[in-house]
Structure 1
Amino acid sequence: SAALRSLARGPFVDQMAENRLIGKYVSRLRVRTPSFQQRTGLLSGGNQQKVLLAKWLAVQPAVLIVDEPTRGVDIGTKAEIYTLFDELAREGIAILLISSDLPEVLALGDRILIMRHGRLAGELARADATEEKVMHLAAIGSATTNG
């Protein structure tokens, strides 16, 4: 991965740098794991999702594209992911959130683009977005409100 390449020293990985990076993200994302050596597949679904986020964040992206990032995770992990997204946005990272969870979209989106049959059906600013408006655009389409 790109994160590992940044830790490489020739054909070898700098183990101390790797452990610092892992520790940073285990702490920041509150990954619950018995050790850094734990296989990701043996972690809970929420912690697996956090590990995926950590891998993406380790490359210090300017834009983070996440598709259904909280599907299948418990309510506590969902709240932690929401908090992380708020922190990342404050740090200047653009987040493109793709979600079918309408309350999630309304809570996290600064600008909401609604798709219908693979096409843009409308755009709403956070201040103008309601469940009713989003559902109307998803069902009927064609409106743009930039607030």
Structure 2
Amino acid sequence: RGIDVGAKQEIYKLMRDLSVEGKAIIMISSEMPELLGMSDRIVVLHGGRAVATLDKDEFDQATILRHASGMDVAPLTETEAS
């Protein structure tokens, strides 16, 4: 499914090179490790609308999934989770 590993690595290298040159890149992916590893900023969509724009220091898998699922609620603190 999708492109082979070698082609994917070539695409990643091209994206990194373009980014270093100051170019903006729009990447669309449903693969979370790919998104987390390649992105400086992520725009999360839900129901066809942008629901969050997160910079690298603001996003992790849980935050992205919370926005993407439409369950945009504050995460529980340790006290609330116990």
Pair 1:120-2:55 in alignment: no
Structure-2-length-normalised TM-score: 0.76
Q: Is contact 1:111-1:126 (8 Å) kept?
A: yes
Q: Say whether the 8 Å CA contact 1:99–1:105 is kept in structure 2.
A: yes
Using CA pairs under 8 Å that are at least 6 residues apart, name the structure with larger relative contact order, 1 or 2: 2
Q: Which is greater in Rg?
A: 1
Richer in helix (by share): 1
Unpaired runs of 5+ residues, structure 1, are: 1-70
Contact 1:114 1:137 in 2 (8 A): yes
Q: Where in structure 2 are the equivalents of 1:33-112 lying within 5 Å?
A: 72-112=2-42
SS in 2 for 1:112: strand
**Alignment-mate amino acid for residue 91 of structure 1:** E
TM-score of the aligned structures, taking structure 1 as reference length? 0.45
Identical residues among aligned pairs (%): 37
Report the aligned-residue RMSD: 1.9
Tell me the amino acid that sits aligned with residue 39 of structure 2.
G
Bigger strand fraction? 1
Moved over 4 A (4+): none
C-alpha separation between the residues in 2 aligned to 1:100 and 1:117?
A: 15
